[in-house]
Amino acid sequence: MPRGRPAGVPPIGSYTAVGDSFTEGVGDPGPGGWIGWADRLAALLADRHAEHAPPGSFRYANLAVRGRLLDRIVAEQVPRAVELAPELVTFCAGGNDILRPSGDPDLLAERFEQAVAALRAVVPTVMVCTGFDTRGVPVLGLLRGKIATYNAHIRAVADRYDCPVLDLWSLRAMRDRRAWSEDRLHLSTEGHVRVALRAAQVLGLTPPADPDQPWPPQARPLRSQVRRDNIHWAREHLVPWIGRRLRGESSGDDVLPKRPELVPLELPGAVEA
């Protein structure tokens, strides 16, 4: 069973999300921008908090920005999260570093641990995230060993600092193509929903649905269609992504956090998982 908050602990009243595009919610569009699993988790936490506190008293901040590398997240977002001092922080970082040839999981883990130590000094609950299992995924499958090594480090850090772990590697629902957006780098809306449900489980909530429930049956695509889809993906997403890396650019160079302040949650009902 995943580690969560012990029975009898009061509901979480404030939450700050730290990370990159995964936590910003890229791939899960909403009326005013990206939604994502962190916003959806915040809605579930707010519902739970409202059972014991006045409506609207739950506070939420999301500092995540797409494309951010670990060092920049640690330099910009972690100090802000410490300053906000919420009851819960989710800290998911390092994935963009692992995608680079220079991304050493051992060195990344050292910097990751320093950030967790800083957060745990003031935040009662810091939930950390493992990376997804990329078995069978074009290109990213080649990085499976690096991701597994980094995951092992994250689990060790979690043990040392008593952090609950959002284990994305074991989330079987993510192995279905429908969990991913067209770019195959970010989750789809349904993928984000399932991550939010798993995160709620880890924190001791009873989510409204099983995050690993089977997907509806669908016809197996023809090989010719798979080839066409792969060519389209490479042209529209993979090549531009490689080009940005070669130019030293990031999709988040001019992007600011979508919820920089820890304020009462007022999000549309669509964020509910």
| Domain annotation covers residue 116 | yes
CATH code of the domain covering residue 66: 3.40.50.1110
* pLDDT level of residue 32 (50, 70, 90 thresholds): confident
Classify residue 37: in a domain, yes or no.
yes
* Residue 36 domain-assigned (yes or no): yes
Residue 243 resides in a domain: no
Arithmetic mean of pLDDT over the chain: 88
Reference 23, options 98, 113, 128; nearest CA is 128
Residue 166's DSSP bridge partners are: 129
Domain interval for residue 56:
14-213+256-271
Report yes or no: 196 and 44 within 8 Å, Cβ to Cβ: yes
Q: What is the Cα gyration radius of the chain?
A: 18
Mean of pLDDT values over 180-192? 90
The Cα–Cα gap between 210 and 199 comes to: 11
Biggest CA pair distance of the chain: 56
Q: Taking phi first (over 0 means left), then psi (-120 to 50 degrees means alpha), and beta for anything else, what does residue 256 get? A: beta
Alpha carbon 140 to its chain centroid, in Å, reads 17
Q: How many domains does the chain have?
A: 1
Q: Look at residue 157 and tell me if it is in a domain.
A: yes
Residue 218 covered by a domain: no
Task: Look at residue 230 and tell me if it is in a domain.
Answer: no
Look up the pTM and report it.
Answer: 0.88
Q: pLDDT (tens digit, 9 = 90+) per residue, 82-113? A: 999 999 999 999 999 998 888 999 999 999 99
